[in-house]
Amino acid sequence: MKDSSLGKLGGNCSILLGVLYVFIGITYLLLPPDQKQTSATDQFLLSFAQDPLMQNIQFWEFALSGLIGIAVVLGISESVRSLDEGWVRWTSNLAILGFAVVTINNFRSFAFQPWLAATYLNGDEVTRTAIEVSGPYNLDPQGWLGFGAVGLWVLVVNLLALRAGSWPRSLNYLGIATALVYWLVVVGFVLGQETIITIAAALGGIVLAPAWYIWAGLKLRQASVKTTVSLAPDPG
């Protein structure tokens, strides 16, 4: 007997994650220029010490997205697991790892960055040099886990669903585009190009990823309702 609770939880969280990604994308665009993640350590810390508000908001948004994302991975993966259990289980575990790293990294940054920025701002030359050479302070500085691993999972589940015809083709193509934007973020970090990251934040964070997660969440909720109805006892 198939339990619909995981699908319902995953669907609700997927819709919530889609909405949250809109706020993440907007928050990134509103960050002071020196607080974009490819900025040099000294520029970031001096800017953060003077104006931490938007960066702290984004720390919380990303941390929550990671917690919610784990439930999304579990729900969506279960819905396509029978199509290719090996690929789904492997990439879903990678995605869970990616979302977990995002959560840990951003909760850590929220607690650690104010102290580090204040120390840098008020420190002498030796202190500042020590902080600059001790980086990176980010646990996933180029986004290979938080964006790359999650993007790989999104790509795999959509390719499998497309091949099986189990989801609308438009949803699959939207998911594939979302996966590519996830990887565009990684490219931006690796190359140190804020322009690429900004494009990915605007296109993926505000448009593609929210649309895919919300649509996929609605499909999961619809499927879970059908399952619940089919499992209901016969009143006769």
DSSP string, 54-82: HHHHHHHHHHHHHHHHHHHHHHHHHHHGG
- In angstroms, the CA 168 to CA 128 distance is 54
Sorted by where each begins, the domain ranges of the chain are 5-228
Q: How many CB atoms neighbour CB 111 within 10 A? A: 10
Question: Rounded CA gap, 185 and 217, in Å?
Answer: 23
Tokens linked to 78:
């279960």
Q: What is the pLDDT of residue 232?
A: 40
d(CA 37, CA 200): 13
With a CB cutoff of 8 Å and minimum separation 6, the contacts of 11 are 75, 216, 217, 218, 219, 220, 221, 222, 223, 224
Q: For the whole prediction, is pTM greater than 0.85?
A: yes
Q: Give, to the nearest 10 degrees, the angle between helix 125-133 and helix 85-122.
A: 170
φ, ψ for residue 142 (rounded to 5)? -110, 5
With beta carbons less than 8 A apart as the criterion, state whether 29 and 201 touch: yes
Residue with tokens 């809109």: 22
At 2 the three-state DSSP class reads: coil
- Pick from 150, 157, 138: which is nearest to 45 by CA? 138
| pLDDT tens-digit profile, the chain (236 residues) | 355 788 899 999 999 999 999 999 889 889 998 887 655 678 888 889 999 999 999 999 999 999 999 999 999 999 999 999 999 999 999 999 999 999 999 999 999 889 988 988 888 888 888 887 776 667 888 899 999 999 999 999 999 999 999 999 999 999 999 999 999 999 998 998 888 988 888 888 889 999 999 999 999 998 876 654 443 444 43
